[in-house]
Every structure is written in C-alpha cells, then in structure tokens.
Amino acid sequence: MCGIVGLFLKDKSLEPQLGAMLTDMLITMTDRGPDSAGIAIYGSDADGNSKLTVQSDNADADFATLADDLSEAINTKVELRRNDTHAILEMPHDKLEEAREALATLRAGMRIMSAGDVIEIYKEVGLPKDVAARFDVSGMGGTHGIGHTRMATESAVTTEGAHPFSTGTDQCLVHNGSLSNHNSWRRKLKREGVRIESMNDTEVGAAYLTWKMQNGASLGEALENSIDDLDGFFNFVVGTKDGFGVVRDPIACKPAVMAETDQYVAFGSEYRALVNLPGIEDAKVWEPEPATVYFWNH
C-alpha cells in the first residue's frame, strides 16, 4: 500500500514549520504504511558546505571518532552532527565523493542515506510517529520535503528498504506501488555505473531518474521517460535541490491528491493527509492525471 506526503513551500514564512507540517501529514498516513517511515528534508545549506547523511545500527561506536577519522582520511575539516541513528557530516562540496569512498573503508557497516548541499534523509523501521519523534522531524525547517510510510511488498522491512531513496546529489524519490522490471533495470544501470545499494524496486526507480539526469535530461524529461521505461504501478514524488515533481503511471490505480495555494504545493496519498494544512479549505485540490508530469521549481 504505502503512503506518500510531500510539501513544497512557496511562502518563506512557513519554512520554519516545514518539519512540523510534514510530521503531521506523515503520521496521518500510518494506516497505509506502518512498517517503516522516512523523510527527506531540504533545509538550508551548511555555510557553503555540503552534507552526507549517514546511518548506523551501531551509532555509538561508529560515530564516536568519525569526524576526526574522516577529516584525516580526506584531509579536510569535517563537522559531525548526530541525530539518533543518523549523523550529518559537513564538508566542502568537492570532498563528497572522496568522503563516500573513505567511509566505505573507515565504517563498512554504515549506510549513506543522502549526499548534497541541502538534503538530509532520515529513515528507520517502525511506526511513523516513532520514527518522526526519534529524529525530532517536527523541529526541522526547510524549503521542501517528502515523507513516506511503507507497507513492504518487493523487499524486506529494513532501514535500507525504507524510503526515500537518494541516488544522486540532492535528489530523492519516494514511491507508492511496485515496479515489475526493476531487476533488468538494476543490471542495466549498474553497468552504466549508477550506484544501487539495495534489492528494492524503488531504488531502481530513483537510480533511473539519476541516470537520465546525468545524461542531460531535466527532472521533467526524466519523469516523462520513466513512464515509457518503467513497468508497474507507481506514484513517484521526487525532490531535487530546488524542485519538486510528481508522476503517476498510465493505469493510475494508486491514489494521489494534490493541493496548491499561494503558500505551498502539497501531495498526499489521501486527502486526509492534507486536512490540517493552512488554508486547505480554499486550496485548489485535484487528483493528478495519469501519465502526466507535474513539476515545481523555486
């Protein structure tokens, strides 16, 4: 089943409340996905630095000297900000790739959730309300964000199987549905050099979009292409550094509702997720058309 929520703010005065609004929306979608939950927040950039979000099942041990170890390995100052099982590592943008490689040796058991100038991804197994609380998502600000509640079908209930998936800098994707040709696309994309970490179908969808964009497509074009190339049921909600996109497969049996006001664009798997947003009574509310790409940019 799965639940998706997304919020793209147009009104800057709402930015401090992004996390609180998304948390409320996410918890409403618990019925659709009680297995795991995750959230991608596009916050402010860290004083010109970029960020890696990492996750560890042994956070105490892994994070204790991580900043120093990584600083030494990549020969630059790395700041670490821990948030429960996750940590944000801040460093210059041109060090991201080097850091990623160094981490594979320094902390082999650790997972990289996202990399980019503004994106942070938090995801864990458990009820959405518990996941949101352990990371204090409601206290986070930002320009846009995407959340997901998962009812697993295509791969196991694990942290790495939770959404959102990020396969490119400042990109993320969440998915409601299931892809049926993900194995052949995983092989093809891996041959093309795209990094895919799990056996999850959605990650392949994310990697597909990353690959398209690496080859010059805009997010809008990449989403258009996904309609032809990906087989299965999907509602995708996608985030980039300054953009927010939505696409549904041509059959469109997975539910989706959107709302737009002068202050925001919002996505919910159900209207229930949107009912507490400010001014929803007067918002333009509609069901996105099948095989149609919707996209907003800051």
- Residue selected from 157, 275, 295, 296 as contacting another protein according to rule CB under 8 A: 275
What is the closest distance, in whole angstroms, from the C-beta atom of residue 298 to another protein in the complex? 28
Can 2 be counted among the known catalytic residues?
yes
The torsion angles phi and psi of 222, rounded to 5 degrees, stand at: -60, -40
Work out whether 7 is an interface residue with another protein (CB under 8 A).
Answer: no
What tokens does 166 get?
């990020």
DSSP 8-state secondary structure symbol assigned to residue 224: H
- Which stretch, 62-70, 91-99, 157-165, 247-255, contacts another protein (CB under 8 A)? 247-255
Cα–Cα distance between 6 and 247 in angstroms, integer?
13
279 binds another protein (CB under 8 A): no
Interactions with another protein, residue window 43-82 (CB under 8 A): none
Interaction of residue 20 with another protein, rule CB under 8 A: no
> Is the CB of 94 or the CB of 228 nearer to another protein?
228
Q: Long-range contacts of range 44-50, CB-CB < 8 Å, 24 or more positions apart? A: 44/118, 44/141, 44/142, 45/117, 45/118, 46/79, 46/88, 46/90, 47/90, 48/92, 49/79, 49/90, 49/91, 49/92, 49/93, 50/90, 50/91, 50/92, 50/93, 50/95, 50/96, 50/115, 50/116, 50/117
Binds another protein by CB under 8 A, chosen from 152, 270, 292, 296: 270
Query: How far apart are CB 252 and another protein at their closest, in Å?
Result: 6
- The answer to whether 259 touches 277, Cβ cutoff 8 Å, is yes
Beta strands in 22-118 (DSSP E): 36-42, 50-55, 79-83, 86-91, 111-116
Give the shortest CB-253-to-another protein separation in angstroms. 7
**Which residues pair with residue 6 across a beta bridge?**
146, 267
# binding residues, another protein (CB under 8 A)? 16
Pick one of 131, 274, 283, 293: the residue that binds another protein (CB under 8 A).
274
Dist. CA 101–CA 107, nearest whole Å? 10
**Is position 252 an interface residue for another protein (rule: CB under 8 A)?**
yes
| 278 forms part of the interface with another protein (CB under 8 A) | no
Q: Give the strand pairing for 79-83 and 172-179.
A: unpaired
Residue 220 binds another protein (CB under 8 A) = no
The least CB distance from residue 256 to another protein, in Å, is: 9
Binding segment (CB under 8 A) for another protein, from list 65-73, 76-84, 161-169, 273-281: 273-281
What is residue 65's DSSP assignment? T
286 lines the binding site for another protein (CB under 8 A):
yes
**125 vs 273 by CB, closer to another protein:** 273
Cβ neighbours around 75 below 10 Å, total = 9
Q: Which of 92, 199, 261, 271 binds another protein (CB under 8 A)?
A: 271
**Quick check: helix, strand or coil at residue 225?**
helix
Catalytic residues: 2
Binding site for another protein (CB under 8 A): 250, 252-253, 255, 257, 270-275, 285-287, 289-290
